[in-house]
Each structure stands twice: as C-alpha cells, then as structure tokens.
Structure 1
Amino acid sequence: MAALAYSHPDLFADEPVVSAREMPLRSTAGLSERRFTAWRGRSGRRYVASVFTVSDDHALGFTDAVLLAVSQDRQILAARDSGPFGVEAALTRWRQAVTQAGAREIHVHLLAEDGMSRRAALLDLMPEV
C-alpha cells in the first residue's frame, strides 16, 4: 500500500516549489483554535499535520511520526522522525534546540505508514541548508 502523503500539484505555480510551504486547511479556517494544517513539500505532495505549541508535551508523545519545528513566521526550522518509542531524551533535547532556534509550534504528521514513507516526507519537507 502506498504512503498516505497525497500529491496535489499547485496548478497556479509558475515555478517549481523550492522549499516546503504551509497550506492551511480551508475546512478549519473558521475555527478559533488551529488544530490542523497542511504543508506542501518540494515535490508537490501535501502533508496534513496536527498543530501543537512547542511546550505541549503531547507533541513528543507520538510514535512513528514526522515532527516539524515551525517558527512564528510559518517556516519549518527543523524536522525529524519521532522514532518507534515516543518520548525519549533525544526528543526532549531536539525540542530544546528548536525552541532556542525560534520554534513556536511542533506540527505532527502521522499519515506516513512506514519508515521509508517518513524518510521521504522528511526529505520533502526538510529546510534546505
């Protein structure tokens, strides 16, 4: 079965996507609390994610997820696979580092079904250095 990272090419883009960008979900636009969002990777694939404040411990409690550290100006600062064991010292150190780098939220993508799908999502969403 294919990974659940959906491909929706941007029909209005004149140039290829060179970095990931947030594409908020229209269905949640009227809600006072933003709990979900979507990111479009460089490939054009769309990744739906749950939104948590950087201090929310629930963000680090998911196993086998893609974690995105997002700045106040809606840029992905860092990304990582949460791993198969959930909360661990490495995730806590990662959160401390991204907080110091300016992250305000952690977006959690749970729809990648296996390690290969998560690696593909990370490569697609990871900020370029």
Structure 2
Amino acid sequence: MAALAYRIPDLFDEPPAAREMPLRSAASLGERRFTAWRGRSGRRYVASVFAVEDSHALGFTDAVLLAVSPERRIIAARDSGPFGVEAALGRWQRAVMAAGAAEIHVHLLAEDGLTRRAALLDLMPQADSEG
C-alpha cells in the first residue's frame, strides 16, 4: 500500500503572492476596465484598470493603488491618501513607470484607513529576504 504524503507548511515558508483573478463578467468586454486580485489571505479585491501613464488613476482619494507589471505581478502598492497629494503621487507614478509597471489598478472599496492598510499588507509584494 502506498503511503500518502502531506506537506505541512513550515513556519518559515514564504506566504503565497497576491495573484490577479480577472472578473468573468468583464471578460467579454473589448477593453479591460475592471479586474480582481486575490491577496495572500485569500481575500478578493476588485479594482479599476488604468494605463500607467493615465493621470486619472491618481485622482482618487482614499484608494489602494497597485502598480502592475506586463507579467501581471504587483510591483508596488500604496494608499492614495485622503487628500490625493499630487506631487507625491506623481513621483510614485514616475518611479513605478521606471520600474516597469504597465498599469495602475485602483481599489476603491476599502472603507477606511484600517481596511486600506490591511489590503495593502495583503497585496503588497514581499521584499526579497536575501542577505
């Protein structure tokens, strides 16, 4: 009789990365305007899709902003803040463009600062732990 093997997660295992889970209801649209991300926790975050150079993506207040690579990975994330400080958001936009971002995804459904912070922690890419 063959033995069954189970993998028990190690305390030091890397948590799974956030992954994009496109909305099926929007799949038939010619233009991708909405998508969803599944965080490391398994929670789902619906977002509007903007080209990285589209300044409208930076016009939202109290939003979670995700810089997304052409390979569909989140390369940076931030809270837009309650006032949408243009200078800081413009610097962030230029930095993520230089880092290779192709799109900015905007999650507007986080109701307050605590839920935006929780979404950021769930979706942000993990820092490399080489050293």
Residue 88 of structure 1 and its aligned partner are, at CA, apart by 1.3
1:99 maps to 2:108: no
CA distance in 2, matches of 1:63, 1:27: 26
CA distance in 1, matches of 2:34, 2:100: 21
**Superposition misfits of 4+ residues, deviation over 4 angstroms:** none
Instruction: Percent identity, please.
Output: 78
Residue 17 of structure 1 and its aligned partner are, at CA, apart by 6.1
Alignment correspondent of 1:25: 23
CA distance in 2, matches of 1:86, 1:59: 11
Alignment correspondent of 2:3: none
Letter in 2 for 1:104: A
Letter in 2 for 1:69: A
Alignment correspondent of 2:44: 46
Alignment correspondent of 1:35: 33
Alignment correspondent of 1:10: none
Superposed CA deviations along residues 12-52 of structure 1, whole A, max 9, x for unmatched, are xxx89611000000001111000000000000000000000
User: TM-score normalized by structure 1?
Assistant: 0.86
- Structure 1 residues 1-129: aligned runs within 5 Å: 18-129=16-127
Secondary structure in 1 matching 2:102? strand
CA distance in 2, matches of 1:105, 1:17: 24
Q: Which runs of 5+ in 2 are unaligned?
A: 1-8
Residue 86 of structure 1 and its aligned partner are, at CA, apart by 1.7
**Structure showing greater Rg:** 2
RMSD over equivalenced CA pairs, Å: 1.4
Superposed CA deviations along residues 28-84 of structure 1, whole A, max 9, x for unmatched, are 111100000000000000000000000111000000000000000000000000001
Q: Which runs of 5+ in 1 are unaligned?
A: 1-14
Number of matched residues? 115
Structure with the largest fraction of strand: 1
CA distance in 2, matches of 1:108, 1:64: 10
